[in-house]
Amino acid sequence: MDAIEEIFNVMESEGGRRYDAESITQLEHALQCAANAEGADAPPSLITAALLHDIGHLINPDARDAIKRNEDARHEYQGAAYLAQWFGEDVWQPVRHHVAAKRYLTATDEKYFERLSPASVRSLNVQGGPFEPAKAEEFITQPFAKDGVRLRRWDEGAKIVGAKTPTLDHFRQYIEASLKT
């Protein structure tokens, strides 16, 4: 099985599960996030990262239940490691950073916290809460951290019940363009 077939298989077979306490599925969330990135004219690698940012939840069925137990399954690291098999840093690093980006944004953008869904607030608390100022400064200087922040903003805006999005196959072009050669 090639990379895209494997990824699509995971997305299609596991993505029908509900996205935490949100009223959408994991796949709907992924498609909305990728559509947000595409609408922002992001490069193919960042659209791919947006589509696949929560794949750590899909390859580890316990990841969502861990939050309910007040445990952090660190899905961002699991997803990044999984994606690093096929993609360069411009895809897997923003995936790895998207949770830290939430902690960064809640520490540096007064209005960002207000936009968090109740499920995101709960996971933020489990994931360590907002960064302290020094940690926020340290985070944003890391390679691909700013891409992680862009991804996080699209992520938070990708929880709309009934949103119309392109199909998973529509995003194949971006995945193909982002594969390591």
What pTM, to 2 d.p., does this model score? 0.93
Q: For residue 169, what are the domain limits?
A: 3-178
CATH number, domain at 32? Answer: 1.10.3210.10
Helix locations, 15-88, DSSP H: 26-39, 44-52, 55-59, 63-68, 75-83
How many structural domains is the chain composed of?
A: 1
Distance CA 93, CA 88 (A): 8
Write down the pLDDT at residue 64. 64
Neighbour-count burial of 77, counting CB atoms closer than 10 A to its CB (0-12 exposed, 13-18 middle, 19+ buried): middle
- How many H helices and E strands in the chain? 12, 0
Give me the residues paired with residue 18 across strands.
Answer: 25
Write down the pLDDT at residue 110. 87
With a cut of 50, list the residues of the chain below it in pLDDT. Answer: none
Neighbour-count burial of 113, counting CB atoms closer than 10 A to its CB (0-12 exposed, 13-18 middle, 19+ buried): middle
Distance CA 97, CA 124 (A): 14
Q: Under a CB-based contact definition with an 8 Å cutoff, are residues 44 and 178 in contact?
A: yes
The whole-angstrom distance between residue 3's C-alpha and the CA centroid of its chain comes to 19
Write down the pLDDT at residue 157. 92
Count CA atoms closer than 13 A to 106's CA, side-chain side. Answer: 23
